[in-house]
Structure 1
Amino acid sequence: MKQTYRSRTAFVLAWVWLAFVAFNVFDLIVRYSGKASLVALAVLGALTALVYAVALRPATVLTEAGLVGRNPFRTTFVPWASIEDVTVSHSINVHHGEEQVLRLWTPMSSARERAKAQRRGAPAPQRGRFKTEPTLTKGEQAAAEAFSGKTHADWVGDQIRERAESARRRDGQAAPARMTWSYDAIGVLVVAVVLVIAAIVVA
């Protein structure tokens, strides 16, 4: 079963930006004013390429065969049995091979999110003689304990760690990781840079 994790905030903001760019491109074409419009279109193109690379493309994908880490300019595939350890700080760090570390771009854990998770994990204060909090079911209590003090990045890190441990017990032998460059992101950025240079030359 394939599971994909992204930064929801970055993903939503990226699509808002694309809608903003589409409106402005239409407006610039309708009200074309020569060199100034060309420069504006080139700048929008460059910024959109950057948004694609850092907000739309990054993802952490859990497949049957292994972990796929899509960062802005490269994609790394690590078989489950090759993963030796997983640590979570600001980002999820996957240790594999000979002291190699794959730092996943998403999901990340901000200081604010971690502080919120710690508050969520703290026991609720008892106020007065009578309980005013609703009684949780066993399922709700189990879910609350599982997420107690953990951020989304911590939870995804746990999923990666569990799959890796299961694969090491089952397979034993670890295959090497594979890294490929993200030609789509690189190509988009190259086109954006060419547009900016052309706009500057024309202007």
Structure 2
Amino acid sequence: MTTPEDQPSAQPPAPEYADRVHRSSAGIASGVLLLALVGWLGVDAIVAGEGRTPWLALALLILVVPLVVAFTLRPAVYAGRDRLRVRNPFRVVVLPWGQIAALRSGYSNEVLTRSGTKFQLWAVPVSLRARKSAARREARAVAQGTPGSAVGGGRDGGRAGQGPVRAATDQVMDDLRSLWEEREHTESAQGEVTVRWAWEILGPAAAGAVVLAILLATG
């Protein structure tokens, strides 16, 4: 007779891998401020304006608000177990780790595919000022005999293990490289690169531009 102890125990389900989300806090803050300013000016013009002014203000709001959202609040990078999803102002790019050839940092942070296509990471902007500040901190630490450390992977310049003090966005790129190198050869991280246009941004902005053009042409 088989007892419960003799039966094989059920294997627990594999844990879900939550995406690591990277966004620009400075971009979000500036977006909120810009939306507040544009909204205040636009609503004031609609309520208090005379003649064609309210219609012009409304058309400008329809045009400008999606663009502000696109360049400030929208950009994000989602690093998952099998793929990198890049949400830029007007496109969403999904890149399986196996299709990535390099993650490069220069005057901008970019991902390069094996086919040679390049996509900029809008959500991870390069800050030359932050790089200079990190370099000064590292120089002081070296002078004091306590150099900083950073974890990063490294075909494109990052160092694994101990390394220099890094600017925040450079550290993000190091983390992305580390995950890419860990996952790029796994079977589930293969596939095709897909690109989708952000019609939820382009549609309203185009509509606002058309209405504004009509108003200006018929004025």
Fold shared, TM-score > 0.5 on shorter chain: yes
Deviation, structure 1 residue 109: 1.1
What one-letter code is carried by the residue in structure 1 that aligns with 2:130? Answer: E
**For residues 123 and 37 of structure 1, do their structure 2 counterparts lie closer, same or farther at Cα, with a shift above 3 Å needed?**
same
Residue 101 (structure 2) pairs with residue 97 (structure 1): no
**Bigger mean CA offset, 189-198 vs 165-174:** 165-174
- Identify the residue that residue 192 of structure 1 maps to in structure 2: 208
**1:173 and 1:13 mapped to 2: Cα distance?**
35
**1:172 and 1:49 mapped to 2: Cα distance?**
35
Q: Which has the higher contact order (CA 8 A, sep 6+)?
A: 1
Contact 1:7 1:106 in 2 (8 A): yes
| RMSD over aligned Cα atoms | 2.4
Q: Which runs of 5+ in 2 are unaligned?
A: 1-17, 152-163
- Identify the residue that residue 65 of structure 2 maps to in structure 1: 48
Deviation, structure 1 residue 33: 0.8
**1:61 and 1:109 mapped to 2: Cα distance?**
18
Contact 1:49 1:192 in 2 (8 A): no
1:145 to 142, 146, 149: 149
- Identify the residue that residue 12 of structure 1 maps to in structure 2: 29
Deviation, structure 1 residue 169: 4.3
- Identify the residue that residue 105 of structure 2 maps to in structure 1: 88
**Bigger mean CA offset, 168-177 vs 85-94:** 168-177
- Identify the residue that residue 129 of structure 1 maps to in structure 2: none
Contact 2:19 2:79 in 1 (8 A): yes
- Identify the residue that residue 13 of structure 2 maps to in structure 1: none
Cα deviation 1:26-63 (Å, max 9, x = unaligned):
32233131212322332343222321222222211112
Higher alpha-carbon Rg: 2
Deviation, structure 1 residue 202: 4.5
Q: Classify the secondary structure of the residue corresponding to 2:150.
A: helix
Deviation, structure 1 residue 69: 0.9
Cα deviation 1:117-166 (Å, max 9, x = unaligned):
2112213456xxxxxxxxxxxxxx89x41184322221111121111111
Q: Per residue, is there more helix in 1 or in 2?
A: 1
Q: Classify the secondary structure of the residue corresponding to 1:99.
A: coil
**For residues 44 and 169 of structure 1, do their structure 2 counterparts lie closer, same or farther at Cα, with a shift above 3 Å needed?**
closer
2:183 to 167, 174, 177: 167
**2:45 and 2:124 mapped to 1: Cα distance?**
36
What one-letter code is carried by the residue in structure 2 that aligns with 1:28? Answer: A
**1:61 and 1:170 mapped to 2: Cα distance?**
18
Total equivalences in the alignment: 188
What one-letter code is carried by the residue in structure 1 that aligns with 2:73? Answer: L
Q: Classify the secondary structure of the residue corresponding to 1:146.
A: coil
Q: Which runs of 5+ in 1 are unaligned?
A: 127-140
Deviation, structure 1 residue 2: 1.5
Q: Classify the secondary structure of the residue corresponding to 1:13.
A: helix
Contact 2:45 2:53 in 1 (8 A): no
Residue 69 (structure 2) pairs with residue 77 (structure 1): no
**2:121 and 2:165 mapped to 1: Cα distance?**
21
Residue 194 (structure 2) pairs with residue 178 (structure 1): yes
Query: Hey, which bits of structure 1, 4+ residues long, moved more than 4 A?
Result: none
1:33 to 21, 46, 50: 50
Identity among equivalent positions (%) equals: 27
Q: Classify the secondary structure of the residue corresponding to 1:72.
A: coil
